[in-house]
Structure formats: C-alpha cells, structure tokens
Amino acid sequence: MNKKPILRMKGISKAFPGVQALDNVELELYEGEILAVVGENGAGKSTLMKILNGVYKKDSGHIYFDSKEIDIINPAMAHDLGISSIYQEFNLIPTGNIAENIFIGRLPKNKMGLVNFKALYSKTKEIIDLFGLHLSPQDLISSLSVAEQQVVEILKALAYESKIIIMDEPTSALSFHETKRLFELIKTLRDKGVSIIYISHRLEEIFEIADRVMVLRDGKNAGGMGIKEAKIEEIIRMMVGREIKDIFPSKGKKVGPIVMSVRNLTTLGRFYDISFEIHSGEILGLAGLVGAGRSELAEAIFGVATPESGEIIFLGKKVSIQNPKEAIKLGIGMVPEDRHRAGLIISMVIRENISLITLDDMCKFSVVMKSLETEKTSKAFNQLDIRAPSIETPVISISGGNQQKVILARWLQISPKVLILDEPTRGIDVGAKSEIFNLIRKLADEGVAVLMINSELPEILGLSDRILVISGGRITGEFKGDKTTPEEIMTKATMRVRIH
C-alpha cells in the first residue's frame, strides 16, 4: 500500500479486575482506508477503540498519530486530533432537536454570544441533505425512530472535520436503502482521505465496504488480510477459533394448534388490516424494511400501544390487551428491539433483571424472599449458559449476546405461550448468534409460539418456519421458511401499497 499510516497502535495491553481485555494488540490504519475490525463480543474491539478515543488509558504500548507518538488522555483530546466515534448505543439528548445534538458543544454564536439558530439550522440542513433524509433540523430526538436516531449519530460524527472516524455497528438499525446511502457516504469520505475504522457483526457488509479486515480474539490479534483475499469462512474461523458449519438449527417439528389469531388489526399511520395466526411450536418471521410497521404491530399485540380497530383471539377467546401487564398475565412475552433502553435495567445485576417481572411470586408479606429469587434466577442462569462470573454480576458488564440471554431468561420465568422477539440478534457476534438461534428453536420445540421480527434476510430464512412480509404497514406476502428466496422477500418488502 502506497499510502502512509495515519495511525499505529503498537503492543497495546489493558486489564480490568480479573480480565485481560487486550494483550499486546497491534493496529495499523492508512490514510483514506476503510479498515474493518471484527471479532466476537468480548474480543477487545470496544476496549481498543475506547483507548483510541481517550475513554480508557492503556496499561502499556504506544500510539502514533501522523507519525508522532501521542498519549490520548480524554475524548476531548481525541476530538481535537480529529478522531470521531459513532457508537452502537446512542449518545443523544432526547429532549434536544437534531441540530442541537449534531452541534452540541459547538453551537454557532452571534456577536452577542447567543446561539445563532439561523446558522445552526442552515448547517444542519446541509448535512441532512447530504444523507438524503426527509427530516427537519428542528425535529426532536424523542420523536425519531431507532433508525433515524442512528442516522443522527452518524451525522454528528460527519459534522466534525475528522481524520479518523470509528464506526461501531453503524447499520444495526438502518434499512437496506439507508445502509446503501451510508456506504456511499463512507466511500466518499475515504476518497477525500478520511480513514474509517468499521466495526460490524454483519460480515457480509465488510466485503462490500472495507479495504482490509483485522480480526481480534480473546484480546489478541488473530489475523488480518486485504478484503480481496478474504473469505468469510476464514474470518469466522479466526474470530471463534473453530468452524461454525451449522449456524442455524434444524427446522422445527410439526407445529401444534393455533395459539393466537390477529384479525384486521389497524392503527392509522402505523399498520393496516393485519391478520394472521401463529401456532404452538412455530417460529413466524416478520420480514420487511425498517419503518414498515413491524415493531408497531408487535407493541400493539403486547399492549404497549392500543390499536384503533381489529381483534386478538388468544387460546380461542377474544382478549383486550390494554398494557404489557395484561399481556404477561396471558402468557405473552416480548424482547424489545433496543435491549438497553427498553429491555434491561443496566444499573441492576443479572439476578435482578431476570426476576424483574416475577417478583410478586417471590414475596412473602411484601418482602422478596432472596433465597427463592436466587434459586430461580440461578436455574435460568445455568439453563441458558449465561457467561458471567455469577448472577450478581452487573448486567452492563456482560456482552450483548449474554445480555440478550438475560432477557430471554426473564421470560422463561412465566413459561410463555407466545414470545415476541424484535431484532433478537441486533449487535450480537456470529458465535453468540448461533447460541441465540438454538435457544429460540428450543423454545419453539417446547411448544412456545415465537413471533420474530428480523431485518437480516439470512436469519429470517434460516430460522423461520413461516414468513410474513410487511410493507407500508400491510402484509404483502407469505412464504414457507424453506420455500422462498431473499429476492422474493425483498420484492414483497419494497412493494408500493395502498394505505387507506
């Protein structure tokens, strides 16, 4: 490669109590290059990036930026050097608007020292237009979808004149078209000399966007190569130290009777005239683009929002589910799309998160019986093979795959009849995905009716017994899981539909 390195990280090591997070790691990044950094959760990717952007202090090693050795002591110094980061978990102020979040700390001022809102909104509009979005600089963050909030995080980083941009799972909540537009922007930045460190669990993405790939495993370098020489099987082997031949479990046994029927469910502006049945022992996949109405439909079934018309028949009886508590009483559970914001209480330990919805059953005279809580949560902890020192481990300190297992363990406490999974593998590495897939299939084989929303076509095809496709809030197609192709699903997912 003729270009010179803009960044070299040599012999980087970092330890936390009881854990050697990084062990003599090397990273080299060139000007105008897209370097993919991959590895399982816990491999050290995030720790290495946090050292680069000044969140963590390295224990040993050297960092060279523009050929000069530096010690990045805090994020402000990283920004001053021209290093920006886009995180998978959002760092936005919900009560602020898009413009205020993009230019936070750098709001343009007038001669009187007051915020120049005209200049602020004008600058923001230029950045929004670059992405081709139908958003206003004055839209509140709290009014945006998960995908739109992810885009704001990306725009915030682009607003800096950065030499290096770290992108951690930037497409995890984006639609196919939004992802395509992001890739165009990334390539434009690369062509202008900006260097990109691109972290993703979607291995197919790195073949589309990266120039080189670097693999970490257990806090050490496991290999690297130019993307033209790379093969996905070799990358997986380096990531996990073994070959994963059967990522998806075998399709389920014969399904049982209908557990739940949804008839003509409608919420104007969200979804229209939705009807389907789901059987005991069946994994029913909901495919479609981001914004198609899948998550809103799931929330209506679970009682988060009340539909305007239609009905739900549960075990042969018409039910009115006004809130999640009523759904839980019926035996309906839901794993939400955003596990940090809506699935976990990150200030609590694993035990508290697992027992969250069944505490009433563990109380005597309104006092939680700690021994019973420990017994039940320990059983679920072991049953799902949650990898953590103990049930008293803070849930924020474990990997994304294990966090998802904690949420699944919580729902096992109520022996659910229907389990709704909204993007159950979002931000989870390939090894942990295989474990989650097996857990989902095991639940179905035990008779649970699983309704799964998934934006990853290989996953929806590999795991679902039957697939419904939603576009514009309407069902546009239905397929057997093993009787269709990605092309057929995408055709139905991009159909124009009548919404009134």
Domain boundaries, the chain: 5-240, 258-493
Same fold, 5-240 and 258-493: yes
Other Cβ atoms closer than 10 A to 142:
12
DSSP code, position 340? I
Other Cβ atoms closer than 10 A to 469:
27
SS3 content of the chain, % helix, strand, coil (to 5): 35, 25, 40
Residues 6+ apart with CB under 8 A from 21: 14, 15, 44, 47, 219
Q: Residue 334: what pLDDT?
A: 94
Amino acid at 307: P
Q: What is the pLDDT of residues 456-480, one digit of tens each?
A: 777 888 899 999 999 889 999 999 8
- Whether pLDDT at 317 is above 90: yes
What pTM value is reported for the model?
Answer: 0.62
Other Cβ atoms closer than 10 A to 499:
11
Q: Please state, in angstroms and as integers, the Cα–Cα distance from residue 448 to each residue in 282, 284, 412, 474, following that order.
A: 7, 11, 10, 25
- Whether pLDDT at 263 is above 90: yes
Specify which residues 70 forms β-bridges with. 63
For the chain, the average pLDDT equals: 88
**Range 340-359 average pLDDT:** 87
Structural domain 258-493, CATH architecture = 3-Layer(aba) Sandwich (3.40)
Look at 172 and 82; give whichever has higher pLDDT: 82
Whether 345 contacts 352, CB under 8 Å: yes
What is the helix (H) or strand (E) element at residue 400, kind and residue range?
A: helix 400-412
Pick the CATH number of 5-240 from 3.90.1150.10, 1.10.150.120, 3.40.50.970, 3.40.50.300: 3.40.50.300
Strand order of the β-sheet with 5-16 is 19-30, 5-16, 60-65, 68-70
Best CA proximity match to 258, nearest among 331, 187, 314, 320: 314
Look at 169 and 41; give whichever has higher pLDDT: 169
CA 215-221-222 angle, 5° bins: 60
Q: What is the pLDDT of residues 102-152, one digit of tens each?
A: 898 888 898 888 989 999 999 999 888 876 778 899 999 998 877 678 778
